[in-house]
Amino acid sequence: MPAPWQICCDKKSRTKNAKAEMDNMAETSEKMQMKKEITLLNGVSLIVGNMIGSGIFVSPRGVLMYSASYGLSLVIWALGGIFSLFGALCYVELGTSILKSGGSYAYILEAFGAFVAFIRLWSSLLIIEPTTQAVIAITFANYIVQPIFPHCEPPYDAVRLIAAACICSLTFINCVNVKWGTRVQDIFTYAKVMALILVISVGLYKIGKGETENLRAPFEGSATSPGMIALALYSALFSYSGWDTLNYVTEEMQNPERNLPLSIAISMPIVAIIYLLTNIAYYVVLDMSALLTSDAVAVTFGGETLSHAKWIIPIVVAMSCYSGLNSSIIAASRLFYVGAREGHLPVSLSLIHIKRFTPVPALLFNGLMTLLYLLVEDVFLLINYYCFNYWLFVGLSIAGLIYLRYTQPHRPRPVKLSLFFPIVYCLCSLFLVIVPLYSDTINSLIGVGIALSGIPAYYLGVHLPAEKRPKCLLWLSVQLQQRSMFRCSSTVLCQTWT
């Protein structure tokens, strides 16, 4: 049975042409869906733009701090790239065999059912997505105002207002047109990659001149404790996160069976090589004490090497944040859209704009959640709560690949991996779940509590039949659906898709 579509128009301005158009829309309601506008190049930009965030510019010191030597840190960066490639390859099989947007949520739903998928969605809604986006927006704002306040802390209110403007502008862009969002992503991704190529070129030039004093004994003083090496690897893997971005928009990709694998195959080596060469450039120019004490490594690097052009780096860091936030907004809005379509969130969030083919209510909901988290003074602290949840659900989605191999052996799989890859990744994911429990027990347990708070929400809002749910929830759902309709003069604006 097709999902109901809603009309909210000004009755006084309806015309015969408008009524005819609405009748036509009703006849084609079952065909209503978002357009397949994401190309191979857009896919590469989304992955690269999300993976290469502000971290490589601001603070790549976590790996170096725990590994305690340049040589071992580069080995850790390489291992992190290989491990992330394993996960990305698993997502290629999942994304081409389960042609749904929503990423790990869609895969967990297919493999393990509604309850586990809802807990994953609940964790993203409450902590993972809004916290990540708020932190990126604040980092963007800090680098925008840094030239105005070079020797002091920028005003708190100014930073939060600029961060809010950043979130609102990107939400608006993505509401208007999918192509606008992908063009922003393409342009800003090119800019950040060019800036990193500049950093790499300076490092290679220094090496060519023989300025390699910092690299003469690269493994001297390397950490030997398994715990320290594990934390170094954990830091590297967190920097590689974002390789699953394209799986959140699978339904909007042109020829996903071809372009999804190609996008991942192109993006992963690019990011791994850029990370390795950028760190080598940092190590050639800056000694270990400077790297470990700098609040913004790329800015320090620019001050040492770029002379009067050092102003480029703060601008590029801001552009990198803008690109990373854009890709995160695109992915998160599709997650909420798919969750609503599956009945796990209010149905109003599954509406799409009938002219622009964008999930406007889901985008606005995502933007509102992120703006609310800007009101939290120490929003950076909230990141510590979700590390456990993040790796748990990524590992669980790949465990779903193994499970589906046995429960649905005849399912069409355009790409079929050896089970070696998902098994290795699941074992390593188990390690990544254990590490935060060991190193940051309290915050990890708070993250677990946030995830478990989804149990009563699932029972009241999903499990119970509609007539038995609390009246306040039914009222809220109706109000949200009414508020998400857009008033217009002659056309239907939003419609659900089944």
Helical (H) or strand (E) element with 5: none
Which has more pLDDT, 304 or 26? 304
CB 245 within 8 A of CB 402: no
pLDDT of the residue at 275: 92
State the CB neighbour count (10 A cutoff) for residue 69: 17
CB 154 within 8 A of CB 334: no
Instruction: Using alpha carbons, select from 376, 362, 383 the residue that is nearest to residue 480.
Output: 362
**What is the token pair recorded at 60?**
């790549």
Cα gap 181→330, rounded to integer Å? 8
Mean per-residue pLDDT for 377-402? Answer: 84
Instruction: Using alpha carbons, select from 171, 191, 199 the residue that is nearest to residue 45.
Output: 191
pLDDT of the residue at 3: 39
- The number of CA neighbours under 13 Å toward the Cβ of 325 is 30
Cα gap 429→284, rounded to integer Å? 33
Mean per-residue pLDDT for 436-451? Answer: 82
- The number of CA neighbours under 13 Å toward the Cβ of 193 is 20
**What is the token pair recorded at 482?**
């009414």
**What is the token pair recorded at 357?**
């083919």
Q: Is 38 helix (H, G, I), strand (E, B) or coil?
A: strand
Mean per-residue pLDDT for 154-180? Answer: 93
Among 11-25, 135-149, 453-467, 475-489, the range scoring the smallest mean pLDDT is 11-25
Q: Which residues pair with 125 in a beta bridge?
A: none
Q: How far is CA 253 from the centre of its chain?
A: 17
With a CB cutoff of 8 Å and minimum separation 6, the contacts of 369 are 125, 129, 130
In the DSSP assignment, the letter for residue 85 is H
User: Residue 496 — very low, low, confident or very high, per pLDDT cuts 50/70/90?
Assistant: very low
Q: Is 394 helix (H, G, I), strand (E, B) or coil?
A: helix
In the DSSP assignment, the letter for residue 347 is G
Q: Is 431 helix (H, G, I), strand (E, B) or coil?
A: helix
Flag whether pLDDT at 475 surpasses 70.
Answer: no
Mean per-residue pLDDT for 459-483? Answer: 71
Q: Is 351 helix (H, G, I), strand (E, B) or coil?
A: strand
Mean per-residue pLDDT for 449-477? Answer: 80
3-state helix, strand, coil in the chain (%, to 5): 75, 0, 25
CB 163 within 8 A of CB 337: no
pLDDT of the residue at 184: 92
Flag whether pLDDT at 220 surpasses 50.
Answer: yes
Among 207-216, 441-450, 466-475, the range scoring the smallest mean pLDDT is 466-475
**What is the token pair recorded at 305?**
């090497």
Flag whether pLDDT at 296 surpasses 90.
Answer: no
In the DSSP assignment, the letter for residue 127 is I
Locus of tokens 């939060």: 160
User: Residue 200 — very low, low, confident or very high, per pLDDT cuts 50/70/90?
Assistant: very high
Mean per-residue pLDDT for 197-209? Answer: 91
pLDDT of the residue at 369: 93
pLDDT of the residue at 24: 47
Quick: pLDDT tens for 71-113.
Answer: 999 999 999 999 999 999 999 999 999 999 999 999 999 999 9
Flag whether pLDDT at 204 surpasses 60.
Answer: yes
What does each C-alpha distance from 479 to 121, 346, 474 come to in angstroms? Answer: 22, 10, 9
Q: What is the mean pLDDT of the chain?
A: 83
Flag whether pLDDT at 18 surpasses 60.
Answer: no
Quick: pLDDT tens for 325-376.
Answer: 999 999 999 999 999 999 899 888 888 888 888 899 999 999 999 999 999 8
pLDDT of the residue at 484: 54
Flag whether pLDDT at 33 surpasses 80.
Answer: no
Which has more pLDDT, 119 or 480? 119
What does each C-alpha distance from 343 to 9, 137, 352 come to in angstroms? Answer: 26, 30, 16
Q: Is the dihedral of CA 193, 199, 200, 201 positive or negative?
A: positive
Cα gap 153→142, rounded to integer Å? 9
